[in-house]
Amino acid sequence: MTKVALVTGAGRGIGAATAIQLASEGYSVCINYLSDKRSASSIVSKIERSGGIALAVQADVSEENEVEGLFSMIDTRLGPINLLINNAGILFSQTDIEGMTAERINSTLKTNVTGYFLCCREAVKRMSHKHGGSGGVIVNVSSAASRIGSAHEYIDYAASKGAVDSLTIGLAMEVADQGIRVNGVRPGLIYTEMHGSGGEPNRVDRLKSNLPLKRGGKPEDVAEAISWLSSIKSSYTTGSFIEVSGGR
């Protein structure tokens, strides 16, 4: 049976590494992206050069109609989805709470929380036994920020990831008897372009000495954890998290 995966926000960083990893394991992968078509297309090309199957689809996961269109495209082009990796996320420049506007907070929550809910909803409608599905797996990319809080940097982002943790736990219980497992990973200081969005591209190098492992992580480190949670090797694991955070 063909295995089909959707990785949101897969044009770069953790999402791109995860898409490449899953393709190497035999998944046909939908690479969702928001605006950087060139980057997403390059990941598709890399997968295809290795003999895999990939499809890039633009969609803003914070918009309900675009999420519905994304899943319809997967239905048509790749077939029934087996695996959802919720990874798309945003953060804004580092600031104390005094510098946060309602617009910023709502934008963060809309993408990082509402987007995850919408993608989970569409995946469950296709995977669950009660809808004729054969089951599946959902992995939510959270963050160590949900535990640490990211004070003086972006507590709105940290709070959004706390919501992702609650979603993961609750949904895991809700759909366990429908053949669907739901787990999460909590990356810490990973070398990705997202730190640039927060205004400090070299943030990992500034903070890595505080970690027990004394180094930053790579997107591939997170992809390996996601791969395990996606596989039959973790068949008795649901509602759980893997910390990929260098020991902190």
How far apart, in whole angstroms, are the C-alpha atoms of residue 184 and residue 225? 9
Residue 55: C-alpha distances to residues 44, 123, 186 (Å): 6, 17, 26
What residues are annotated to the active site?
157
Q: Are 85 and 151 in contact (CB under 8 A)?
A: no
CA-based nearest residue to 146, from 134, 154, 135, 138: 154
CA-based nearest residue to 23, from 37, 11, 7, 38: 7
How far apart, in whole angstroms, are the C-alpha atoms of residue 229 and residue 225? 6
**Could you tell me how far CA 238 lies from the centroid of its own chain?**
16
Q: Phi/psi at 33 (nearest 5 deg)?
A: -145, 160
